[in-house]
Amino acid sequence: MNRRQFLATAAGASALSLSVSAQDKPKLAAPTPGPGPIRLGVSSYSFWHFRTEKVPIETVIDETARMGAYGVDILHRQMDIDELGPLSPEVHGYCRKLKRHAFRAGVDLICLSIHQDFVSPNPAERHKWIAHTEKCIEIAYALGIPSIRLNSGRWKTIKDFDDLMKARGVEPVLEGYKEDDGFKWCIESIQKCVELASMRGVVLALENHWGLTRTPEGLLRILDDIPSEWLGALIDTGNFLEDPYDKIAAVAKRAVFVQAKTYEGGGEWYTLDLDYPRIAKILRDAGYTGYVSLEMEGKEDPMTAVPKSLATLKAAFGV
């Protein structure tokens, strides 16, 4: 067969294949829709509630691996580093060791939960917390952590946190100012942090953590004013004290991270009876497919309480 005959034969075979009707061809099975890959993590806060000596992050990583969860959400104040100040070579070295420790344990580092407060009429005070947030973005970057937990801040007219909890998280606005002032300060401050976050590939997750974000309306107001793919909502299931399910549903589509409170042995400040199958359905219906990080806030020993709480979440989320 010469070249011309070969091409003619090939063309005929191609035409014949095109003439076969679609119904005669084998059909590929359509993908079966199913739940997204929600994975469970554990917050280091589950092992330390500010009331005792710090539990080392390495211990939390080891226990998380032993208890069968996939990720650790690190509470920044629990780390063995200075709260404020520059990012020193010692901090970089500590981060490298934690990163290696987690890798060897088969555990992901999934969030860095930090504290800051942008609600202040003092520009220098706000700048201090902007600088702190930027430093924590760099820490997350050094650890390979893809998100950090942000707070909006609060008016601090109730000084003691225990008293704030007795007031159900509601406090008066600072005398001489309006609620709008607090939102303005907070929005301007977070906007200054978003640029570095995008450069470092770190998502800012704004939590419903008292203060301006105590309500869904407050949380959404800030998110709507900063349209960035590097900013989203962090839902803490235990921080909407009244009507939690409606409020979780109101912000669920904006969620980039979820922290799930449990209260084994009674809560440190209060106890909520949360329906986790219902919460799981709300998140699934909203299309959430990220991490759910356990925050065990009960008084029971975490070595027994955390596995119990993980079993509750595994059953609710079907993982």
| Rounded-to-integer distance, Cα 204 and Cα 201, Å | 10
| Higher pLDDT pick, 8 / 196 | 196
| Higher pLDDT pick, 51 / 140 | 140
pLDDT for res 87: 79
pLDDT for res 199: 97
Q: Does the pLDDT of residue 297 top 50, yes or no? A: yes
pLDDT single digits (tens) 116-172 = 999 999 999 999 999 999 999 999 999 999 999 999 999 999 999 889 988 888 999
Please compute the mean of the pLDDT values over residues 3-10 and round it to a whole number.
Answer: 47
Q: How confident is the model at residue 2 (pLDDT cuts 50, 70, 90)?
A: low
- Output phi, psi for 272, to 5 deg: -115, 140
CA 233, distance to chain mean position in Å, is 8
Q: Does the pLDDT of residue 200 top 50, yes or no? A: yes
Please compute the mean of the pLDDT values over residues 210-218 and round it to a whole number.
Answer: 95
pLDDT for res 169: 87
pLDDT single digits (tens) 240-278 = 999 999 999 999 999 999 999 999 999 999 999 999 999
pLDDT for res 86: 66
pLDDT for res 95: 95
Distances (CA, A) of 286 to 36, 88, 177, 280: 11, 41, 36, 10
Pick the CATH number of 36-317 from 3.30.360.10, 1.10.10.10, 3.20.20.150, 2.130.10.10: 3.20.20.150
- Amino acid (one-letter) located at 181: D
Dihedral sign, Cα of residue 164, residue 165, residue 167, residue 172 = positive
Q: Does the pLDDT of residue 1 top 70, yes or no? A: no
Place of tokens 């005792």: 52
3-class SS of residue 85: coil
Name beta bridge partners: 236.
259
pLDDT for res 161: 87
pLDDT for res 165: 87
pLDDT for res 82: 66
Task: Return the domain boundaries, the chain.
Answer: 36-317
Percent residues over pLDDT 70 in the chain: 87
| Rounded-to-integer distance, Cα 299 and Cα 49, Å | 9
